Structure 1
Amino acid sequence: MAFNRSVMKKTGLFLVLLSIGINTINAQTFNEWFRQKETQKKYLLQQIAALQVYMGYLQKGYKIAKDGLHTISGFTKGELNLHTDYFNSLKTVNPSIKRYARVADIITLQVKIVQGYHSNYKQLCGTNALSGDELTYINEVFAKLLDDCAQTLDALITVTTDGKIAMKDDERLKRIDQLYADMQDKYSFSQSFSNDAKILAASRLREQTDIQTGRAWLGIQK
């Protein structure tokens, strides 16, 4: 039977990437990766717990306060060093920034990536349409993705924790927005990659069905 051309094209591209990935990435299962990444697991669990708190703020629509940090004062003309109190204030995170909606959004996307992986991988394994090497490659791709997500969460923790880094309120908000955009890209990739894998599995199943149908029409036994 003829297949939809766009599906075949997309499946072909995925197969090329799949073959490259299998040959270039060392085999490592998702569970093995998690055992080696205890720090990332800890951060993820912390952020999932924090999500419940942050989501409450989302419902109330908090506005970001504009007067959170002290202004520069007490400088003599030509003085190059910041006043000690002002510098220290830059290392204290304005509570309103911790309630910034994008913080919860970043965590939510991370949770969706993990949940989506578990759901899709279980579904793919159940089809018996992909080889062991192909499933291993999918594990490897998501292992790398989750490693990158952990780095994004590390950066989020740094920018929203007192004493970690000296930044103004607007700088912190800008950095959080950047981290949100980064996590959005990761989520979009996870969705696209999972869909490609499911399309490949579906095409394999159709091929198997076509072969079985053809054998039945011709009266050929397996």
Structure 2
Amino acid sequence: MKKIIMLLVSVFLSACQLQAQQAKQKRMLLLQIAALRTYVDYAAKGYKAVKSGLNFISDVKKGEVNLHSDYFTSLVSVNPKVKKYGRVAEIITLQIEIFKIYKNTLASLPQDDLFHGNELEYIERTFRRLVNSCDDNLDLLLLITTSTSLEMKDDERIERIDKLYEAAREDYSFCKKFSGEIKLLALSKAREKNDVKQAEVLLGL
């Protein structure tokens, strides 16, 4: 139960950090709150703590909770078996981690000043494709878990969620690997840059 509550707190903090983001990040914020609701359904004993956290967030960010309530209302009309499906929260968690890795990796590039021209364009283009793919998957997740207009049985909805979960895992794995490769290449470039400087000093250049 402690782990669940810690996870809930973590999701709340992530929601606060994304407050200033644009439309795509607002959808991610909405989905984080949806993940909270999923875990609340599983953790009845921890409900009071969660409720207190919600009240705190509501006080800090006036109006945000009203935005998320639209999601909760729409969940009422979908079979609880779908809305409580644990992988919904897992998908959201993976997407949040992808966004963090993407954001941190890109933020470090100008500071290091090691990538330029085609290399930098390739990195930005690759991350942009990944983030766009994640955004599409989040939109689809929202549709599957809220829309009653979709002519889908509950088992079909869960099957689609499973596919989105596998896609999220693949995207997360790629994101970590790609970011790791960038860091390794940056270290190599930094060493080369340092070697050149030392050689110039030795040669009196």
Q: TM-score range by the shorter chain?
A: 0.5 to 0.7
Question: 1:190 and 1:43 mapped to 2: Cα distance?
Answer: 20
Which residue of 69, 79, 83 corresponds with 1:94?
A: 79
Structure with the largest fraction of helix? 2
Count of residues in correspondence between the two structures: 153
Correspondences of 1:90-169 after superposition (within 5 Å): 93-169=78-154
CA shift in 2, pair 1:58/1:185, >3 Å: farther
**Counterpart code for 1:130:** F
Q: Unaligned 5+ residue runs, structure 2?
A: 1-20, 45-76
The separation in 2 between residues aligned to 1:119 and 1:57, in whole angstroms, is: 32
Q: TM-score, normalised by structure 1?
A: 0.61
Worse overlay, 127-136 or 185-194: 127-136
Q: 1:115 Cα shift? A: 0.9
With over 3 angstroms needed to count, the CA separation of the structure-2 counterparts of 1:181 and 1:58, relative to structure 1, is farther
**C-alpha distance in 1 between matches for 2:171 and 2:42:** 22
Partner residue of 1:51? 35
Whole-angstrom distance in 2 between the partners of 1:221 and 1:55: 64
Report the equivalent of 2:69: none
* Paired letter, 1:56: V
User: 2:180 is matched by which residue type in structure 1?
Assistant: N
SS state at 1:148 partner: helix
- 1:176 — aligned with what? 161
* Cα distance in 1 between the residues matched to 2:174 and 2:149: 30
RCO comparison, higher one (Cα < 8 Å, 6+): 1
Equivalent position SS for 2:148: coil
* Alpha-carbon distance in structure 2 between the residues aligned to 1:102 and 1:50: 12
Q: C-alpha separation between the residues in 2 aligned to 1:148 and 1:140?
A: 12
- The 1:124–1:55 alpha-carbon spacing in structure 2 relative to 1, beyond 3 Å, is farther
**Which runs of 5 or more structure 1 residues have no equivalent in the other structure?**
1-33, 61-91
TM-score under structure 2 length normalisation: 0.66
Could you say which residue in structure 2 is the equivalent of 1:194? 179
| Counterpart-to-counterpart distance in 1, 2:141 and 2:42 | 18
- Following the alignment from structure 1 to structure 2, what is the Cα–Cα distance between the partners of residues 58 and 184? 23
Decide whether the 8 Å contact of 2:82 with 2:154 is kept in 1: yes
Deviations 1:133-168 (A, max 9, x none): 433332221111111111111221121114131222
**% same residue:** 36
| Aligned alpha-carbon RMSD (Å) | 2.2
